[in-house]
């Protein structure tokens, strides 16, 4: 197990974002954060596909596991049980983050098609914020506050 995994085993995702942002500023390295909003899929499929809150939680948990097993060991994935799943990509510029997110989106869309047993195209809203880029609509710092609420 890596040192970073041990350091953050008991910490929350917002703390990890804060730590990595300070590290990126100090060492002048890239940092990217992507937030997948699973809410539209849950709402769209909620008309009978989720008989209980446990079914909904299991579905979101499955997507979390797909993401977690598809990223590097140094990356962090939020596990707040919420309909938003954050992926923190240390030392990753925005373009590389976009490539990773496109790959993950394809895996999630395939999972959703198989899960709901239909060929619908499941669009997942994704927000990406990068440091030092200022291209995103939100800063990485604003996500720290959002994930502290979760």
CATH code (residue 91): 3.30.70.270
| DSSP 3-state of 36 | strand
Question: What value, to the nearest 5°, has the Cα angle with vertex 69 and ends 120 and 106?
Answer: 25
Domain that holds residue 83: 3-149
Among candidate residues 90, 92, 125, 70, the one with its CA nearest the CA of residue 3: 90
Looking at the structure of the chain, the number of domains it has is 1
Taking only the tens of pLDDT, the chain with its 150 residues reads 344 443 444 458 889 999 999 999 999 999 999 999 988 888 876 556 676 778 888 888 999 999 999 999 999 999 766 788 999 999 999 999 999 999 999 999 999 888 888 767 778 899 999 998 765 567 788 787 777 765
The C-alpha atoms of residue 109 and residue 12 are separated, in whole angstroms, by 27
Torsion angle (degrees, nearest 10) of CA 52, 39, 122, 106: -110
DSSP 8-state assignment for residue 124: -
> pTM for the complete prediction?
0.83
Do the beta carbons of residue 8 and residue 15 sit within 8 Å? yes
């Amino acid at each position: 197990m890596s040192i970073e995994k041990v350091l953050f085993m008991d910490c929350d995702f917002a703390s990890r974002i804060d730590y990595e942002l300070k590290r990126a500023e100090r060492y002048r390295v890239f940092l990217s954060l992507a937030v997948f909003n699973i809410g539209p899929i849950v709402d769209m499929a909620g008309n009978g596909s989720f008989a209980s809150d446990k079914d909904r939680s299991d579905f979101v948990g499955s997507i979390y596991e797909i993401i977690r097993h598809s990223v590097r060991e140094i990356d962090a994935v939020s596990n707040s049980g919420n309909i938003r799943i954050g992926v923190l990509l240390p030392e990753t510029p925005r373009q590389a983050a976009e490539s990773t997110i496109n790959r993950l989106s394809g895996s999630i869309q395939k999972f959703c098609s198989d899960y709901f047993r239909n060929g619908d195209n499941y669009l997942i809203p994704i927000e990406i914020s990068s440091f030092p880029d200022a291209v995103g609509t939100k800063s990485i710092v604003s996500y720290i506050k959002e994930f502290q609420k979760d």
